[in-house]
């Protein structure tokens, strides 16, 4: 009986929340990008990353460097 209770205690997950690294408007993949963590909502089960490519000469989004599905997602037409 004691063994069953002991086994049940360790089978219950202690941490049910998914955490994702978050960084906005940071150049590179260091400092805040590896320290800032956001806990996901209860129904979220994955982290999503969107990388936007920009150049110093043209700060607007470079559409040619995006994956084929991303301009569709960024436009908001799917909502």
Burial status of residue 56 (CB atoms within 10 A of its CB: 0-12, 13-18, 19 or more):
exposed
Domain locations in the chain as residue ranges: 15-47
Predicted confidence band of residue 78 (pLDDT cuts 50, 70, 90): very low
- pLDDT reported for residue 35: 77
pLDDT at residue 79, as a whole number: 44
CA distances from 79 to 21, 40, 74 (A): 25, 21, 10
Report the pLDDT value the prediction gives residue 40, as an integer from 0 to 100. 78
Question: What is the pLDDT, as a whole number, of residue 57?
Answer: 66
- pLDDT tens for 2-27 read 666 666 566 655 555 677 777 776 66
pTM attached to this predicted model: 0.36
Of 76, 25, 19, 14, which Cα lies nearest the Cα of 51?
A: 25
Token readout for 16 is 């049910």
Place of tokens 């908001």: 76
8 A C-beta contact, residue 37 and residue 19: yes
């Amino acid at each position: 009986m004691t063994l069953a209770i002991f086994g049940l205690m360790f089978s219950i997950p202690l941490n049910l929340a998914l955490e994702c690294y978050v960084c906005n408007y940071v150049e590179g993949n260091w400092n805040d990008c590896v320290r800032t963590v956001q806990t996901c909502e209860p129904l979220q089960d994955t982290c999503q990353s969107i990388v936007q490519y920009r150049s110093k000469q043209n700060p607007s989004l470079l559409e040619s460097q995006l994956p084929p599905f991303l301009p569709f997602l960024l436009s908001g037409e799917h909502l």
